[in-house]
Each structure stands twice: as structure tokens, then as C-alpha cells.
A and B are shown apart, each in its own frame.
Chain A
Amino acid sequence: MARMTEVNLPGDSPRREGDPAAEPGRARPRQGGHDGRGRVLDHLEQPVEAGATVGHVRCRNPFVVAEDVNVFYGDNHAIKNVTLEISKKEVIALIGPSGCGKSTFLRCLNRMNDTIESARVSGRITLDGQDIYGKELDPVALRARVGMVFQKPNPFPKSIYDNVAYGPRIHGLAADRAELDDIVHTSLERAGLLREVKDRLDEPGTGLSGGQQQRLCIARTIAVNPEVILMDEPCSALDPIATARIEDLMDELTQDYAIVIVTHSMQQAARVSRRVAYFHLGTLVEVDETDRIFTNPQHKLTEDYITGRIG
């Protein structure tokens, strides 16, 4: 983990109350708390009080609102009392060490956790005011408004054209073939893929390179004109050049869609997002603007993660 920033400058960072090591200017030694039985707790085990998210959970013009969301996988309490607001046309990055629940939270937003039998979601998540777990919103319609791009590119074993056209076809977005052609071409162009594939739209989507396949998946997702795009570590399986292309793409897409991206790479989060949310062991620890989080993290755990002590 590369070091993003130096430790705080003296005097100007408000710290959590009662933090015994809150001395300005000193490098933080490895902290260990004690549990009731006198064992020294490792950083990773240090509990964070539920509900005590630091920073700015709310935002102006919220579009997706998650209130007190808890997710259980069987007995495993994976997401603990998370509250977060996401506004239209912003890119927010969810970061955190492995297993902290960021992907789980992401999957709540388009009800993909429904496919897992042991998963239980409580709390309230609304999309433009509508409860997405309520009876009025069909998950099928929800997923047409909240699209998802997965970690490993997964194009259908069909032609490139059919891959992009699948969503519009099943939702009936095109009245005739000409309109469908239009949608497919527009989506491919916005995903930055059209120039490379325009003479071979009938070839199988699985025949493209990794980066091209991921852009195909993005094109497929935007073909149904969603309002929010969820991206679960979209570049982790790609080389740096393909990654750079997709990050440029995100820059353009953010003009029309809200993007929630889960990423392991803090550099990526710093490059593409406007807000960053840091998860730790299922709790949302801190949410703030990107610049502020990476230069001036307010919570100790955030700082430790960013400077490379955890994760």
C-alpha cells in the first residue's frame, strides 16, 4: 500500500474524543486496546461504535439513501448499521480492507443479495424516494435503473451486438430494429469501444481482450439507461493501460450517471471519485470528500488504512 500522505500536521486536525494518543505532531505508534479480559486487541479487531460514522454521511440532493442497513449472512453480521447518502451524478468510492463489507453493501443497492439464500437485509434503502425493498418496486425494474459491472468481465457467449442489445430487448426499450441499432451503437461509443469493434459486431463477445470485454460489459450496462451504475472492482483484473481507459470512461460517464465504485486501490479512488467511504469490519467508519479523506482523515482507522498500516 503506497503512502498517500504524511501524518497530520500539528494543531489542525480535530480528533475523536478520548483518543489517548491524540498528540499532534507525533507519529502514531501501533495502538492496542484491551478487551474486558485483558487481551491486547489487534488493530483489526478494534471495535468501532455502531452508528458513529465520521464525516459527511449526508449530501445535497440525495438520490440513493441507505438508512440503518444491516446485512446478515446466516449468523454472520456482515453490515452493521450503515447510513449513507449518494447524490446524482457523483462518483463515490467505497474503500476498505478485504472482507469489510463494501461489496456486500454495493450488492444491497440493486438487490443482488436476493440471489444469496442465507442473506437477510434490514433497514431502509430508497432510490429517489422509493423503498427498493418495498412491494411497489419490482427488482427487475430496479435493476434496470441501477446497473452493475462486475470484477471479472462476464460478457454473454453471444455476439457483441446481442450482448449490448440484450438489456434493451428484454425491457422493450426499442420499438424496431433501427432504434435498437441506434442504442447499441450509442452505448458502444460511450463505452469507448465502437471504433474497435464496429466491423465485427457479429463476432462473439468472448473473443475480445480483457479490457475490451470490461468495456463491453459497461456498454451493456449503460444500454438500458440506468440512473446509477455500481462497479465492483471493475479494473482489478485488467492491466494498467486498460485500467486507465476505464477510468477516463468513468470521468465521462459521471456527467450522466451516479457511480458507486468499490476499489482496492486508493490511487484509483483518489483519481476518479469525488467522495470516499471507508468501511471497516462491516461498519461505515468515515465518509468525506476525496481530498479531505486522503489529506486529513478524521478517524484513526481511516488514517491507518490510508497510510498502509492495515489492509
Chain B
Amino acid sequence: MQRFELTRHKVEAGLRRRHRSEMRFRIAGMLATAVGILFLGFFFVDLFAKGASAFLQTFVSLDVELSQDVIAPDGKPDLAYADFDGLVHDALRADFPDVRSRSERRDLYRLVSAGASYQLRDIVASNPQLIGTRQTVWVPASSIVDMFVKGHIDPKLDPSVRPLSDAQIRWIRHLQDTGKLERRFNKALFLNGDSREPELAGIRGAVMGSFYMLLVTVALAFPIGVAAAIYLEEFAPRSRWSDLIEVNINNLAAVPSIVFGLLGLAVFINWLAIPRSSPLVGGLVLSLLTLPVIIIASRAAIQAVPPSIREAALALGASKMQMVFQHVLPLALPGMLTGTIIGMSRALGESAPLLMIGMVAFIVDVPQGFTDPATALPVQIYLWADSPERAFAERTSAGIIVLLGFLLLMNLAAVIIRKRMERRW
């Protein structure tokens, strides 16, 4: 009896201490989670505050006289050499007739984007019957006007440090009052390639470049990775060589990614003469990066298949290949796919290895195939972050938002694929 009482006593004495330490641990955990959420929240709020305005662009309405003398002096439209700039300037002067001096006129012309003339040319090219008519065209305002309209330029600043003169501000206000200046959805951000002019700059080139690269990456890394994992797990005899290979693959997953870029430069570009800056060489380099991740995830998935299933298949007279491909592989596939998509997400966000192979460059044209020069989304963000023009600041954030959106979609795909395959069996 006394023995039991003694034990009970000791247990109860220690109870308070145990509860307290567990409470401390729980509080520490909640604190850590709260800090994490706080940082994440701060990041997202900052990102969207800076980047949301990039999805809108200021446009100016011009009444353009598409005069035949300028566009088609010999009867045929001369799109390459016609002075579309002149047409834009004429339209602006028509709106502000009292602008006389040269410097004032230059300031007036600077209200509108340099790409306005190209826009006119494209309009005429797609519909030559408009030559000789008067058209109302909404052209993008220059980036400095855009920044002013969005409130990023303080009109109370001293004119010597302010990028807009008093006259320009007056004209902008006039255009606003007469309804000829408004903010619209920034289609150029999604439809154009990169440009020195922020109002004309878009991520389409970078998105296509990333797309082609990831296509090459998944086409190479997934089959090779899965096959390597199957071989190493099921067929390779346990020996010192296979242990060595396993250690090396695990280490490769931790190698700094720029090293793969150097390898790409040395082998793919110099030796195999694959075109520099192409999504093909970028995809090859990224697939080298993703391969260890896929192999490791696939091996874990294969190991998780219960041996009872393998024995049942063998006992029925299945050959080893049949057992592996008809039983082990289908059961391991969800894990393999998840590992692949995680690897792809990492590859999408890499920019260091692309440095060595020439994809960190100002490339204007949207790539049409695997061998055209291209850049990637994270690289584009980096280049914009580095650009001096004020308007690129918000576009950098917008690019990051788009990149995060793609990553979210890929991870969502991973979750959905897992759920689907798990339900089936």
C-alpha cells in the first residue's frame, strides 16, 4: 500500500513540471508559426502593393489623320519608311495648338510612348483601307507620364529635379479633363517581349523561353530519372559500385546550380556546339539539375511499395520486368510525379546556371522554337530589377507575381495528381 502511495506522490509531483515544459514548447511552436506567417504576409502585402499597379497602363487617345501622302506617297503603302512618328506628332499638336517652341514641342511629343508609331503602322498594315481616314487611336503614354498618373511622381517637387515640367503636367491634366487619358489593362505586359521602354515591355518572351526550357527538362529528366531509379532499386546488384553511385546522386542534389551552368558551357556549347542562349541548352542544363531530385524521390517511392505485392506477382509467374512495370511502377507513380513537379518548380525559378549559357541577356524577340535565343522568367525579373527606369520597379514586382502564380499552379497540379492516383487504388 505504501509503495503505491509513494509512486503516486512522485508522479504527481513531477506532473506540474512536465505540463509546464510542454506548454513552453507549444508556445514556442505557435510563436514560430506566427513569425513565419507574419513574414509571409509582409512579403505578399509588399509584393502586391508594389506590383498591382503594373497591371494597368496609362493610355492617351489621339485623333490621327492617316494621310495618304505620308503613308503611301506612290500609291502603295510604304510601311518601312513612312513617317508614322510625324502622324503622331501632328495629332498631338492638333490637341495642343498653342505649343510653339521647339523644346516645348519635344516635351509634348514625350508624353506619348515611342512605340505609338509602330502601333499606327500595325493598324495600317492590318487594314490598308484606313489610309486617308481619320482614326481615334489609344496609344500607350510614356512611362514617365504613367508613373505620374499612378502617383509615383510628386508634382510638388522642385522642377529641376522633377522628371516632368510644369507644362507637361498641365497638358496631362488637360488630357485627363477632356477624357483623353485613362488607365487600362496592361496587355503589353503579357503580349510583348522585353523592351527598353517600360510601357512596351512584356514577359511573353521570358514565359515562352521558360516554357520551352521546362519542356526540354521534363522530356529528358523524367524518363531518365525514373529509369535510373528503377534500375538502381530493382535490378542493380548490391555492390560497392552501387553504393558509390547512390552517395554521388544524393550529393549532386546539393551541388550549387551555377556549377551546372559551367558544365553546360563546357560540354553543350563549346563541345557539342548547341546554339548559345537557346531553350535547348537551357533545358539540358536544368535537366541535369533536376535529375538527382527525381531519382531520389523515385527511389523512395519504389521502396515504399510493399514486398508482399512483389511476392504475389512473382508467385503467379510474372517475370521480374513484369513485376516491376505492372505492379511496382503504378504504385510508385504518384510519388515519382510529385518529385518531378517539385523538381520542375525548382528548375523554373533558377537563374544562376543560365548565366553561363547566355540566357541572362536582353533579348527582345519572343522565341519561336527550341533553338531561338531566349531568356527565362526569373532572369527577366532580375534584368528589370536592375534597370534604371522608374517604371520597371512595379513591373519587377508584377513579374514576381506571375512567377509565383506559375509555381502555385505547378504545385496545385502535384496535389491534384496525387489525390487522383491515390483514389484509384
Contacts and interface: CB of A to CB of B under 8 A. Distances in A.
A148 B315 contact: yes
A115 B318 contact: no
Q: How large is the interface on A (under 10, 10 to 19, 20 to 34, 35 or more residues)?
A: 20 to 34
Contact of A156 (B314, B317, B322, B327): B327
A154 B319 contact: no
A175 to B, nearest CB: 18
Name, among A152, A154, A158, the residue most crowded by chain B CB atoms within 10 Å (CB to CB): A154
Interface stretch (A21-29, A165-173, A248-256): A165-173
Given A154-B309, A156-B309, A204-B425, A117 B238 contact: yes
A41 interface: no
Interface string B134-159: 00000000000000000000000000
Interface string B301-335: 00000101111111111110010001100010000
A112 B315 contact: yes
Given A115-B311, A154-B309, A158-B425, A170 B238 contact: no
Contacts of A154: 306, 308-309, 311-312
A91 interface: no
Nearest to B310: A115
Given A150-B311, A158-B425, 20 more contacts: A110-B315, A115-B310, A115-B314, A140-B318, A148-B315, A154-B306, A154-B308, A154-B311, A156-B312, A156-B313, A157-B309, A166-B318, A167-B317, A170-B318, A204-B425, A217-B312, A220-B316, A221-B315, A221-B316, A224-B317
A221 B313 CA distance: 10
A147 B314 CA distance: 10
Nearest to A171: B317
Contacts of B327: 156
A277 to B, nearest CB: 21
Contact of A141 (B310, B317, B331, B425): B317
A143 B312 contact: no
A140 B315 contact: no
Majority DSSP secondary structure for residues of B touching A: helix
Given A117-B238, A152-B308, A170-B322, A143 B425 contact: no
Given A117-B238, A157-B331, A140 B319 contact: yes
A112 B311 contact: yes
Contacts of B318: 140, 166, 170
B425 A157 contact: yes
Closest 8 CB pairs of A and B: A144-B317, A157-B425, A154-B308, A148-B315, A143-B317, A167-B316, A154-B312, A140-B319
Interface string B232-267: 000000100000000000000000000000000000
Contacts of B238: 117
Contacts of B315: 110, 112, 143, 147-148, 150, 221
A143 B327 CA distance: 17
Nearest to B319: A140
Contacts of A157: 309, 331, 425
Name, among B310, B313, B314, the residue most crowded by chain A CB atoms within 10 Å (CB to CB): B314
A162 to B, nearest CB: 11
A112 B318 CA distance: 12
B311 A170 contact: no
A78 B366 CA distance: 70
Contacts of A155: 312
B357 to A, nearest CB: 44
A158 B327 CA distance: 10
